Amino acid sequence: MADPIRVVQYGLGPIGSAIARHVVERRGLTLVGAVDIDPQKVGRDAGEVIGLERPLGFPIRARLSEVLAETSADVAVHSTSSYFKLFKPQITEILEAGLDVVSTAEELSFPWIAHPTEAEEIDAVARRCGKTVLGTGVNPGFLMDTLPITLTAICQSVDHIAVTRVVDASKRRGPFQLKIGAGMTPEAFQEKMATGRMGHVGLRESMDHIADTLGRRLVHYEEHMEPVLAEHPIYTPYVEVKPGQVRGLKQIGRGYTESGEFIVLTFIAALEAGDEQDIILIEGKPDLEVVLRGTNGDLATVAMAVNVIPRVVTAPPGLVTMRDLPPVHYW
């Protein structure tokens, strides 16, 4: 059997820690280091910080260079921020340190159209370093882009694509419940929404990923977000929602070609959102309807970030997207 792939986890929030735990339990991978800037975490044993019941024998470091002074590594799984402005120097640092990168950064999942300059810069760094970088996750990265793209394989024509994802936030972690506005007043929701740092990041990237892959040019985008309000009190371990307060959000992205609307992506995440499911409707020849249940966002993002590691380690250098890789799968 081949030597295990040596993994550094970069970023130890809830998702990063879950990825690190999954790396530890997967055959073929070894967690050799972990990076986080949180002073509460730095210096403590990685096993303790990520929530294992045993120590891993190495501490969390504030800087990647400190990790690599103590161990070699093949790949970093990067899970810090959604936004280029924040993650770009981190990705560059990892590539220049000689590691391949799997990132859960939403804006990195398909940046060629929304962030062409930054994408080209990262691509150039990756090629110069001979390393590969991929942004992925369950969404963006799979449900609203890779999977619909994959389904069009059995279509002779594609006229319109609609994907709706319903997430029942009651089953999700605290930061997620807060991120979707649960417990806010409608006014506070509107105010936070106005800052642009609210809700799901990635609708634009998923639309670009689909349209560009299918050879369509989107000439106009619309995004719309609104609060979903509670009609009765809701209590979770993390938040309390009074009637009239926000229990979640509904977000819609539409992409238009010159012939009209081509893609509509709807993301609903709320406490008591009801039946969790993803619905993919492709109008074309033939029309396809695909309904998925069980695509738990946290479990699925962790799985994707880890399952893709062997593909990224063997891919040619550069910034790649999911459409460039053979099917990612459990192994």
Q: How many residues are there in the chain? A: 331
Q: How far is the CB of 292 from a second copy (least distance, A)?
A: 5
Q: Cβ of residue 278: shortest distance to a second copy, in angstroms?
A: 9
The residues that bridge with 167 in the sheet, in sequence order, are 269
CB 323 within 8 A of CB 147: no
Closest to a second copy by CB, 100 or 118: 100
Q: Which is nearer to a second copy, 79 or 245 (CB)?
A: 79
Q: Whole-number minimum distance, CB 195 to a second copy, in Å? A: 31
| Smallest separation (angstroms) from a second copy to the CB of 306 | 7
Q: Which is nearer to a second copy, 92 or 296 (CB)?
A: 296
- Is residue 258 helix, strand or coil? coil
How near is the Cβ of 164 to a second copy at its closest, in Å? 15
Secondary structure letter of residue 243 according to DSSP: T
Contact indicator for 149, 158 with CB cutoff of 8 Å: no
What's the rounded Cα separation, in Å, for the pair 202 and 65? 30
Name the β-bridge partners of 163: 265, 280
CA distance readout (Å), 170 to 78, 199, 236, 246: 27, 16, 7, 13
Distance of closest approach, residue 29 Cβ to a second copy, in angstroms: 12
In the complex with a second copy, the residue whose CB is nearer, 192 or 323, is 323
| Nearest to a second copy of 71, 157 (CB atom) | 157
Measured from the CB atom, the residue of 235 and 330 that comes closer to a second copy is 330
Which is nearer to a second copy, 142 or 189 (by Cβ)? 142
Given the complex with a second copy, which of 67 and 133 has the nearer CB atom? 133
- State the Cα–Cα distance between residues 67 and 25, nearest whole angstrom: 21
Question: 3-state class of 77 per DSSP?
Answer: strand
Is 284 in contact with 262 (CB distance < 8 Å)? no
CA pair distance 102, 54, nearest whole angstrom: 26
CA end-to-end distance (rounded Å), the chain: 14
Tell me how far, at minimum, the Cβ of 144 lies from a second copy, in Å.
13
Question: Least Å distance between CB 31 and a second copy?
Answer: 15
* CB of residue 308 to a second copy, shortest distance in Å: 7
Say if CB 16 and CB 80 are below 8 A apart.
yes
Q: Return the amino acid letter for 254.
A: R
Query: Would you call 155 exposed, middle or buried from its count of C-beta atoms within 10 A (0-12, 13-18, 19+)?
Result: middle
Sequence-distant (≥ 6) Cβ neighbours of residue 15 within 8 angstroms: 79, 104, 298, 301, 302
Query: Phi/psi of residue 325, each to 5°?
Result: -105, 145
Task: Give the nearer residue to a second copy in terms of CB position, either 52 or 155.
Answer: 155
What residues make contact with a second copy under the rule CB under 8 A? Answer: 22, 138, 142, 146-147, 149-158, 213-215, 284-296, 299-304, 306-308, 322-331
* Residue 35, token pair as written in the block: 């990076």
